[in-house]
Amino acid sequence: MRVLVAMSGGVDSSVAAALVRDAGHHTVGATMKLWGGPSDTGCCSVSDVEDARRVAQQLGINHQVFNFSEDFDRHVVEPYVADHAAGRTPNPCIECNRRLKFDRFLDRARRLGFDAVATGHHARVERGPDGAWELCRGADPAKDQSYVLHMLGQPELAQLLLPVGSMTKAEVRARARALGLRTAAKPDSQDVCFIPRHGGRQAFLASRVTLHPGRVVDEGGRPVGEVAAVELVTVGQRKGLGSSIGSRYVTQVDTASATVHVGPLADLMVDRILLVRPAWVGRAPAPGERFEVQLSAHGQPVPGRWDGEGRVALDEPVRRVAPGQSVVLYRGESVVGGGVALAA
């Protein structure tokens, strides 16, 4: 089988490439050049591309670089900026997976005649009892990445290999050391690749949109403080708003009026979440069907059901998910699908 391996320059994709090669497949590595601006974080720096190239050389496989920077800016960076400008809290890594890694990259692989693509994500692809493909949690709970892959459907899963999904992170690093790979001890990427460490999110957003100072009002509409940029505030936030808000939390961000609403924790609790842009691994769930609902990448799932009208109904109230974040439904270890939370 001809397999194109997405090599980010990290240890997971390095070992994924080695495992594909060792399984006897015709293996080629490819690194996506996504961010065209300066980068000292994430997986888009010049050094990451060089690490991927050198690992491919160590493994004796060919390596290519695909420049998807225009698509990345259009489909990931611009929506990220627009979401913040509208008071939402986006997850750019999920959109990168949706629009680049499992759309543009997979399409390029098909056009080049590859049978499958492989990545270093910690998740598993398995066949279900009915023969349909299933996306399952990775073997290492601390590194499980099935949440950020929830948008994958049957066509994508049919051509996807996740070689390290059945391994713990310790096992991945041990395999890399045994192979003498230069990425064996490389730290994991923790940051958004296009947000530089110097200046961070505020400086980046300020370079693209005008940030507006805002007022903070309590549950009765009384002013209790100010923020330097309302676009940087997140629903559920408590820190960084000054001592005058006391024990209150952000309950709403209204960028149109440059107003941040705060209130007690009780005002954040909800038992229903409206989702947009739903994506299902297989069939769409039936109304009333029950699932475990995960509200963040490594959050504790909570029981709930799909109401058939775009909402997840939870058995017990939880803290409101910030608009723009993803909510993912599971059936045991298997991902059912998910969507993006809207404002309550």
Residues belonging to the active site: 96, 193
- Cβ neighbors of 160 (< 8 A, separation 6 or more) are 102, 106, 116, 117, 118, 119, 125, 152
Per-residue buried b or exposed e for 183-213, using 16+ beta carbons within 10 Å of the residue's own CB: bbebeebeebbbbbeeeeeeebbeeeeebee
Q: What angle do CA 265, 268, 274 make, to 5 degrees?
A: 165
Question: Any idea what DSSP says for residue 283?
Answer: S
How distant is the alpha carbon of residue 184 from its chain centre? 23
Whether residue 328 contacts residue 312, with contact meaning beta carbons closer than 8 Å, is answered with no
What is the distance between the alpha carbons of residues 31 and 299, in angstroms, rounded to a whole number?
Answer: 30
Measured CA distances, 68 to 103, 215, 227, 298, 309 (Å): 11, 40, 36, 29, 36
Instruction: Quote the radius of gyration of the chain (alpha carbons, Å).
Output: 21
What is the distance between the alpha carbons of residues 226 and 231, in angstroms, rounded to a whole number?
Answer: 13
Other C-beta atoms lying within 10 Å of the C-beta of residue 297: 16
